[in-house]
A and B are shown apart, each in its own frame.
Chain A
Amino acid sequence: MSQKRRDRLLRELPLYVMIVPSFVLVLIYSYGAMIGVTIAFQKFSPAKGLFGSAFIGFNNFINLFSMPNIWTVVRNTIVISLWKMGGGIIVPVVFALLLNEVRQNFVKRGFQTLVYLPNFLSWIVLAGVFMDILSPSSGIVNRVLSALGAAPIFFLGDKFWFPITMVVTEIWKGFGFGSVIYLAGLTGIDPTLYEASEIDGANRWKQTLHVTLPGITSLIVLMTVLSMGNILNGGFDQIYNMYSAAVYETGDILDTFVYRLGIESAQFALATAAGLFKSVISFIFVVASYYLADRIAGYRIY
């Protein structure tokens, strides 16, 4: 028995050795940071460190939620991310349905090649491109608008237009690649269903309504549920690179707020508290979304 046990441990040992490097790094950088959230409850000073700073309970949170602009920031985050979630589901689905009607494979591939492109570029490059083309004085978009007789629009500097621009450009970046999953789902629909519906006298539109859409409904539900976890992610990469003080009122989101508070103003404890507030709510949403995805669609991440 003990011989058998030793054999088994010996057989497992290499598995432990393999997993140790990533275990240690994740322990330090992910779990270390998780322990670091305790500074949200401290009167933190970097010199005294995590273990030397005094605990002050929920004072940082009380201060945070008495900041005049915090609720504006929370509202902006939710408004922007809800629009992005909605558009991020509808546009790829519609695009996939339209593309699915194209029968020539090379035409299909051609369209795909063009629309997938923005997805792979960083928001830095894209912000550079948008700042150029959306510029009210020299950008090509406003030149087209003025040729049509419209007044120039300050897309990135106007409180009304900024969040709209963020939502549209985010959907623009992701819709092509977002459609991949639905296209995969569409190819999986049983062709005999189309034949049967044709015999029953259904035209293409009826087929789309009664065969194609039901065929990908579970995928749409799954993607909707999974996107719920992003409710407090307004899109830091995008917004931080395109916003300015002029549009804080409608464009400042939790992540940009935390960044300015923490890194730019060095209010570590307050910024950590704001970050923790976001993390806890996101955690609840992410766990709920995975739970629902498992229950509804049998999706599991592992």
Chain B
Amino acid sequence: MKIKTSASRKVFMTFNFLILTMLSLMCVLPFLNVLAISFSDKIPVTEHRVAFWPVGFNTAAYSFILSQPAFMRALVVSVQRTLLGVAVNLILIILTAYPLSKSREEFRARGFFSWFYVITILFSPGLIPAYLVVYYTKLMNTVWALVLPGALPVFSMLVVMNYIRGLPKELEEAAYIDGANHVQTLWRVILPLCAPTLATVTLFSFVGHWNSWYDGMMYMSVVDKYPLQTYLRTVIINPESFFRNVTNVSTNIAVYLGLVNARTTSAAQLFLAMIPIMLVYPFLQKYFTTGLVLGSVKG
């Protein structure tokens, strides 16, 4: 399409560009400010001289945090729950989406199972009953409390199910005629074709597990078992408490304390928690977008 560039169009485009630039800056400047603080010396930070560029650049806040067992323990719990959680989510999504993608003739219980899962999206019984089930099934203070209650992400499962239903029927029929059973059909025919949608739901799960904090707070009674985000909550609510709980006496705390304070170390911890998300961010943009459109606009 050819676009005429009239004078008014040029004025509009200039303003448009300015507005979009402002909105984009609004989305990143808060992070740049906190990032700059995390790399700054504590003196300019307390004197409010840090804006979007570090003043008195140093990495002491980061080396200090990484020397603290409290942070490392939480990191380990988070990595565990994310790996385990994503694996469980993905396996159950595949194993549920495939049978449900069948027609009523091929899988007569489809109607029952569909409603069984969909009802859980429509009605959520609330926090206390969910808590009590975890309590009575003896999962308190175990990593399974962070994995099993949400073992099947129903929305993701529906996205995958719809994707499988959209694949040409002939493929499955050909496999059936060749004598393949359901397991072989799923493994050899369906799964390879589902790669893009599986990438999407894997990312959904990854972000979900990494960012989740509330289950850690509910189901873990000791801070030592908190995943990273839950632990971070204790830091941001009361930044000074972190310094009272400094435990690793072998590090030269005096050296660090000359360079860091509660604000720079909080900022550093926020950034460390963002790193995994930043690493998958290029993929998120690509796959989340297709996934969202897949799941939302269809006839």
Contact = CB atoms under 8 A, between A and B. Distances in A.
A264 to B, nearest CB: 11
A138 B262 CA distance: 13
Contacts of B17: 102
Majority SS at the chain B contact face: helix
A140 interface: yes
A15 B236 contact: no
Contacts of B296: 181, 299
Contact of B285 (A112, A130, A298): A112
Contact of A272 (B126, B182, B211): B126
Interface in A111-161: 111-118, 120-125, 127-133, 138, 140, 143
Contacts of A133: 30, 33-34
Interface in B268-296: 269-270, 273-274, 277, 281, 284-285, 288-289, 292-293, 296
A121 B211 contact: yes
Given A133-B30, A204-B9, A37 B3 contact: no
Contacts of B1: 191, 194-195
A29 B31 contact: no
Interface in B135-190: 135-137, 148-152, 155, 157-158, 161-162, 181-183, 186
B83 interface: no
A46 B25 CA distance: 51
B236 A117 contact: no
A121 B271 CA distance: 11
A121 B285 contact: no
B218 A263 contact: yes
Contacts of A19: 95-96, 99-100, 113
A103 B3 contact: yes
B151 A25 contact: yes
B63 interface: no
A278 B133 contact: no
A115 B113 CA distance: 39
B211 A29 contact: no
Contact of B123 (A15, A34, A236): A34
Contact of A115 (B27, B161, B182, B183): B27
Contacts of A204: 9, 12
B299 A26 contact: no
Contact of B92 (A21, A31, A258, A301): A21
A70 to B, nearest CB: 15
Interface stretch (B65-73, B103-111, B192-200, B250-258): B103-111
Interface string A4-41: 00000001101110110111011011111111110100
Interface stretch (A80-88, A245-253, A282-290): A282-290
Interface string A230-272: 0000001100110000000000000100110011000010011
Nearest to B299: A298
A114 B27 contact: yes
Nearest to A173: B27
A19 B181 CA distance: 16
Contacts of B151: 22, 25-26, 29
Contacts of A282: 124
Given A98-B19, A122-B213, A129-B31, A287 B299 contact: no
A22 B37 CA distance: 45
Contacts of A115: 23-24, 27
A90 interface: no
Contacts of B183: 14
A97 B114 CA distance: 37
Given A99-B20, A124-B233, A18 B27 contact: no
A302 interface: yes
B61 interface: no
B158 A26 contact: no
A275 interface: yes
A29 B233 contact: no
Contacts of A143: 48
B118 interface: yes
Given A23-B113, A101-B16, A263-B131, A37 B297 contact: no
A275 B129 contact: yes
Contacts of B299: 298
Given A34-B123, A128-B236, A302-B100, 17 more contacts: A14-B182, A15-B98, A19-B95, A22-B157, A28-B133, A28-B137, A33-B130, A37-B126, A124-B233, A125-B270, A127-B236, A128-B235, A128-B266, A132-B263, A195-B1, A236-B214, A241-B233
Q: Which 9 A-B pairs have the closest CB atoms?
A: A275-B126, A36-B129, A122-B211, A114-B24, A15-B99, A33-B129, A128-B236, A14-B182, A30-B120
